Structures are given as structure tokens and as C-alpha cells.
Amino acid sequence: MRILVTGGAGYIGSHACQRLLKDGHHIVALDNLHRGHQKPMDMLKSAHPESFHFIHSDLGDTKTVLGTLNTHDLDTVMHFGALAYVGESVEDPLWYYRNNIAAAIGLLDACDQCHNGKGINRFIFSSSCATYGNPPQDMIPVPETCPQSPTSPYGYTKLHMEHILKDYATKRDIDHNPLALTMLRYFNVAGSDSAGLLGEDHTPETHLIPVAIEAALGKRESLSIFGTDYPTDDGTNIRDYVHVEDLIDAHVLAMNTTKPGQVEAFNVGIGKGYSVRQILDSVKRVSGVDFPVHDAPRRAGDAIALYNNPERIKSTLGWDAQITDIDEIVSTAFNWMKANPNGYSKES
């Protein structure tokens, strides 16, 4: 297929490009490089000079995206480009709505107008378990039927985008020009590719596993646990950590399975929850370093416990996580960060 990957220079988007190129697809990655990196784009270009292209642009730049979709004759969009920090979204909600919704509508305009108004055929959207907010106790592990009630602006941006995309898919049905739409609600994504080429390099870094690894590598003095008084076994939040390559596998299955006129939503998570303390223990085991940890107040917007009920994605797409051992997931992230102590940006 011929695929536009928005946010292609980011952590998850670059892993998607790598896998899709390996599978023989024609890929155009689009990224404003606000948080993405040029280096993985250069690496992928040199490995796949014919089938990979990088466009430095904002995804809300409809004219550029439209030109890209038409010039490269792209039929599928995987939309990863978004701001993705819960805490940051509470501090600057308008920025999150502007980026994750207003810009995404610019992208959708291009998706609608391309190919002489026929539009693209397939759209795969990075949604989030943050759309569920704090699920009721009897809905944990969380199925797709769980009511969606976010606790943060970030979660709302993802939920609003789901509604916008469904409405757009309905319009395409009315036009007798059906779209295949899949919305994948990610749980917490972690790890690096098995070849050790790509990794997670955010500035600022706020995600638990990379922050803990930075503490283990001596790049920060200590780590704070945001909330130790939650109603969980050890008082800390519970999350479901899915390996990035397993997550991309779900995208490939969705792309190959969802048919025109179908609108699907799947949770992507391994189906097992780990507390913050359990994650820190794993990073300490994997690194062999007992870094200092401090108790800190709760972080605004955090849900108490979120882990997936993977039944639907298993039975419908045939997806199952291949890496479910938390130490194995953490090891892949640790190995990349150890080998690239300065991330992508500087010489390591």
C-alpha cells in the first residue's frame, strides 16, 4: 500500500515506518519535527531510498498534505502526529486542542479532497485508553464497550477525534464512497525495536519507563512517584504497558482487515496491569541500579487503574502481544537508551 504516516519522526510513528517499509509498502512520513527527530528519518531514507520519503510539515497544513497525498498517490493514512502528555495537557489545554484537533481537521480536509475529491481509502487513528478516564470497577480490565469519560484534556482530544472521524466516515458512506476507519486505543506504549535502531527520545521526557531509565543511567538524580495514596494494592497507579512493535503489529492487522464502510475501535494493551512501583522494580532489576525514588503528590489528570481486556482485538484481528514480560519490554528501552545516552539529537 501507499501510506502517509503523520508524526512519522516521533517515537511510535518511526517504528511504524520501519515496519511498513520492511513489509514492502511505499511510505511518506510527515512531521513538523516539533518533538520528532530528523535522524531516524535519515536512517530510514538511506535504508529505503526508493520507497521512503520524509516531508517536513505541520499536519494541519492542508495544502502541503494535499499535494503529498496526490503526488505520491497515497491511499492510506496512519495518523500518529499529536501531543501526548496528560500532565502537559492539563497545564496548556488550548495548545492540545489546537494541535490534536484543529490541525487534525486540516489533515482530514486534505484526506477528503485528494485524488480529485475521491479521498483516501483507509484511515488508522492513534486513540488512547485515556478516553476511558477512570473506568468503573466492574469494567477493569477495560473492554471497548466501557463508557468513555476522559480525566484530562489529552483524553478529550482523542475522544473528540474519534467522534469527528466517525462523522467523516458517515459522510463518506452517504457519498457512496466508503472509508475503512480503525481507531486504536493505545494503553501505555514502551520499548524499542528489536534491532536497536529506533528509540524513545522526548524533550521533556515525562513517561515513567524512560524517566526511570534516565535515573538508572545517572541522567537524573531521582524519580518521583506521582501519588502513593491511590486505592490500589501498593497505592500507586496501574497501567498496561504494550511493546511498541506489538502495537505496530496491531496497525498492520487493522490496515489489512478493516473493510471500506467499516468503523472499528480496538484497545491495544497486553491485558495485564503493573503499578508504578512494579515498573520501578523492573527498571532496577534490568539496569542493576537502585536509584533513589521519592513519594510525590498526585499528578492532575491521572486515572487510577487502566489495563486492557484484549478479547475483542484477539478475536477480530487475531492480534496478541508477543512480548508480555515487563522486564523484556523494559530491557529493549534500556538497551537503546544506554547505547544512545544523548538520544538522537547529538553524537552519542
Q: Contact positions toward ligand UDP, by CB under 6 A?
A: 86, 188, 206-208, 211, 223-226, 237, 239, 276, 299, 302
The residue written with cell numbers 475529491 in the block is 117
Closer by beta carbon to ligand UDP, 120 or else 330: 330
The residue written with cell numbers 485528494 in the block is 114
Q: How far is the CB of 243 from ligand UDP (least distance, A)?
A: 14
Catalytic site residue from 154, 168, 230, 307: 154
Element (H, E) at 210: helix 208-216
Closer by beta carbon to ligand UDP, 69 or else 330: 330
Q: How far is the CB of 208 from ligand UDP (least distance, A)?
A: 4
CA distance 201 to 251: 22
Closer by beta carbon to ligand UDP, 106 or else 227: 227
**Residue 195 main-chain phi, psi, to 5 deg:** -80, -10
Residue 111 near residue 69, CB atoms below 8 Å? yes
Closer by beta carbon to ligand UDP, 57 or else 206: 206
Closer by beta carbon to ligand UDP, 78 or else 306: 306
**Residue 154 annotated to the active site:** yes
Nearest to 330 by CA among 221, 223, 242: 242
**Residue 294: all three cell numbers together:** 521519592
Q: How far is the CB of 71 from ligand UDP (least distance, A)?
A: 35
Helix (H/G/I), strand (E/B), else coil: 75:
coil
Burial (0-12, 13-18, 19+ Cβ within 10 Å), 229: exposed
Closer by beta carbon to ligand UDP, 112 or else 302: 302
CA distance 287 to 193: 18
Helix (H/G/I), strand (E/B), else coil: 37:
coil
Q: How far is the CB of 199 from ligand UDP (least distance, A)?
A: 15
CB nearest ligand UDP: which residue?
237
Output the CA torsion sign for 231, 323, 319, 151: positive
In 193-319 the beta strands, taken as DSSP E runs, fall at 223-226, 238-239, 241-243, 263-268, 274-275, 293-296
CA distance 88 to 92: 6
Q: How far is the CB of 214 from ligand UDP (least distance, A)?
A: 10
Bridge partner residues of 190 (DSSP):
243
Helix (H/G/I), strand (E/B), else coil: 275:
strand
Active site residues: 154
